Amino acid sequence: MYSKMSLIPISQADVVIKPIVGFLGSADFGQRNEAIMEGEKAALAAMPHINALLAKLRQEGRLQ
């Protein structure tokens, strides 16, 4: 699934959540809790934008 997702340009995405995890390696499972926390922070920061998009889609009748 990841390989297919990586083919889609980020510029075409409605929302891109980018947690700050540059300090972690791809196999650094010892700091997975820190990675999860960074993901949660990034997702919470994106929520206003996500909610605005959802409201727009509902207003347009494209989402119930």
The domain segmentation of the chain, as residue ranges, is 2-59
Q: Which residues of 21-31 are buried (b: 16+ CB within 10 A; e: fewer)?
A: beebeeeeeee
What per-residue confidence (pLDDT) applies to 52?
97
What per-residue confidence (pLDDT) applies to 3?
61
pLDDT value at 1 more than 60: no
Tens of pLDDT, residue by residue over 11-49, are: 888 899 999 888 788 777 888 888 899 999 999 999 999
More confident residue, 13 or 56: 56
